[in-house]
Amino acid sequence: MARPTSDQPTELELKILHVLWKQHPLPVREIRDALAAAGRDLAHTSVITTLNIMVRKKYLKRNKQGNAFLFSPRETREDVSQRMLGDMVNRVFDGSTSLLMLSLFDRKDLQVDELMELRRLINRRVKEQSE
């Protein structure tokens, strides 16, 4: 049975997006080389198939240059991460951002500088909301 379609990128699609967020536009060969360097050595045809699916899903855009297609992301890392995080908050934490944050604090050892940065961001958000 086929996997149901998702609004979120698959693991491989995310790896491709990471490659293209660092540098774009890129031809298939360079995307394939970057994936292989990251431990994901795939057949050229598999990469082409995945890229075409990502174009159909509107994750990527492609432009023809000579005999090759060049691929670029349609969305920023921030847009994708916000959508994925919102989906996780809704599905796992019943829409509660505070439960997500508490879970992060309980599961990850945060460095003092990270905690100070989080406090700064929270204080800024409180100030913005109270104005």
Domain holding 67: CATH number?
A: 1.10.10.10
Residue 26's Cβ-count burial label (10 Å; 0-12, 13-18, 19+) is: buried
82 and 52 together in one domain = no
15 and 50 together in one domain = yes
Q: Residue 7: helix, strand or coil by DSSP?
A: coil
pLDDT of the chain, 131 residues: tens digit per residue:
666 666 789 999 999 999 999 999 999 999 999 999 999 999 999 999 999 999 999 999 999 999 999 999 999 999 999 999 999 999 999 999 989 988 887 766 788 898 899 899 999 999 999 98
Reply yes or no: is the peptide bond before residue 27 cis, omega within 30 of 0. Answer: no
18 and 46 together in one domain = yes
CA dist 129 and 10 (Å) reads 35
Residues with Cβ within 8 Å of 77's Cβ and at least 6 positions away in sequence, in order, are 17, 21
pTM tops 0.85: no
Could you tell me the residue range of the domain that residue 27 belongs to?
11-73
